[in-house]
Protein backbone atom coordinates (compact mmCIF):
# COMPACT_ATOMS: atom_id res chain seq x y z
CA UNK A 1 0.00 0.00 0.00
CA UNK A 2 2.90 2.32 0.78
CA UNK A 3 4.30 1.75 -2.73
CA UNK A 4 1.01 2.65 -4.36
CA UNK A 5 0.83 5.91 -2.42
CA UNK A 6 4.40 6.68 -3.46
CA UNK A 7 3.50 6.11 -7.13
CA UNK A 8 0.42 8.33 -6.80
CA UNK A 9 2.49 10.98 -5.01
CA UNK A 10 5.08 10.85 -7.79
CA UNK A 11 2.39 11.15 -10.48
CA UNK A 12 0.78 14.01 -8.59
CA UNK A 13 4.12 15.81 -8.27
CA UNK A 14 4.84 15.22 -11.97
CA UNK A 15 1.44 16.68 -12.94
CA UNK A 16 1.97 19.68 -10.65
CA UNK A 17 5.37 20.33 -12.20
CA UNK A 18 3.96 19.93 -15.71
CA UNK A 19 1.19 22.43 -14.92
CA UNK A 20 3.78 24.89 -13.63
CA UNK A 21 5.84 24.51 -16.79
CA UNK A 22 2.73 24.91 -18.95
CA UNK A 23 1.71 28.05 -17.03
CA UNK A 24 5.20 29.52 -17.44
CA UNK A 25 5.21 28.69 -21.15
CA UNK A 26 1.79 30.31 -21.58
CA UNK A 27 2.92 33.50 -19.85
CA UNK A 28 6.10 33.57 -21.92
CA UNK A 29 4.11 33.09 -25.13
CA UNK A 30 1.71 35.89 -24.16
CA UNK A 31 4.60 38.24 -23.44
CA UNK A 32 6.28 37.38 -26.75
CA UNK A 33 3.02 37.85 -28.67
CA UNK A 34 2.33 41.20 -27.00
CA UNK A 35 5.85 42.40 -27.83
CA UNK A 36 5.44 41.29 -31.43
CA UNK A 37 2.09 43.06 -31.77
CA UNK A 38 3.48 46.22 -30.14
CA UNK A 39 6.41 46.25 -32.58
CA UNK A 40 4.10 45.62 -35.54
CA UNK A 41 1.80 48.47 -34.51
CA UNK A 42 4.76 50.80 -33.93
CA UNK A 43 6.01 50.08 -37.45
CA UNK A 44 2.65 51.14 -38.89
CA UNK A 45 1.98 54.83 -38.78
CA UNK A 46 -1.18 54.50 -36.74
CA UNK A 47 -2.35 57.56 -34.88
CA UNK A 48 -3.56 57.67 -31.33
CA UNK A 49 -7.21 58.25 -30.54
CA UNK A 50 -6.34 61.72 -29.24
CA UNK A 51 -4.59 62.64 -32.50
CA UNK A 52 -7.51 61.30 -34.53
CA UNK A 53 -10.03 63.29 -32.48
CA UNK A 54 -7.95 66.47 -32.83
CA UNK A 55 -7.77 66.14 -36.62
CA UNK A 56 -11.46 65.32 -36.82
CA UNK A 57 -12.27 68.47 -34.81
CA UNK A 58 -10.07 70.55 -37.13
CA UNK A 59 -11.80 69.07 -40.18
CA UNK A 60 -15.23 69.80 -38.69
CA UNK A 61 -14.22 73.40 -37.99
CA UNK A 62 -12.87 73.80 -41.54
CA UNK A 63 -16.13 72.42 -42.94
CA UNK A 64 -18.15 74.88 -40.88
CA UNK A 65 -15.95 77.79 -41.96
CA UNK A 66 -16.24 76.66 -45.58
CA UNK A 67 -20.04 76.57 -45.34
CA UNK A 68 -20.07 80.05 -43.78
CA UNK A 69 -17.84 81.42 -46.55
CA UNK A 70 -19.99 79.75 -49.19
CA UNK A 71 -23.13 81.34 -47.73
CA UNK A 72 -21.39 84.73 -47.60
CA UNK A 73 -20.28 84.47 -51.24
CA UNK A 74 -23.82 83.52 -52.30
CA UNK A 75 -25.23 86.50 -50.37
CA UNK A 76 -22.69 88.85 -51.98
CA UNK A 77 -23.46 87.48 -55.44
CA UNK A 78 -27.21 87.97 -54.92
CA UNK A 79 -26.68 91.51 -53.65
CA UNK A 80 -24.32 92.44 -56.49
CA UNK A 81 -26.58 91.15 -59.29
* 12-66 per-position pLDDT tens digit: 888 898 888 899 999 999 999 999 998 888 888 888 899 999 999 999 999 999 9
Dihedral sign (CA 12, 17, 21, 27): positive
Number of domains in the chain: 2
Q: Tell me the average pLDDT across 63-70.
A: 97
Dihedral sign (CA 47, 53, 54, 55): positive
Domain region containing 80: 47-81
d(CA 64, CA 37) in angstroms, rounded, equals 39
Based on the fold, state whether residues 21 and 38 are members of the same structural domain.
yes
Based on the fold, state whether residues 14 and 28 are members of the same structural domain.
yes
Based on the fold, state whether residues 16 and 27 are members of the same structural domain.
yes
Based on the fold, state whether residues 35 and 72 are members of the same structural domain.
no
What SS3 class is residue 48?
Answer: coil
Based on the fold, state whether residues 37 and 2 are members of the same structural domain.
yes
Does the structure show a pLDDT above 60 at 80? yes
Q: What is the pTM of this model?
A: 0.45
d(CA 33, CA 41) in angstroms, rounded, equals 12
Based on the fold, state whether residues 41 and 51 are members of the same structural domain.
no
Amino acid sequence: MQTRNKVLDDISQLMTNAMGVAQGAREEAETAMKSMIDRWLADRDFVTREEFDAVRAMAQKAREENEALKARIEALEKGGS
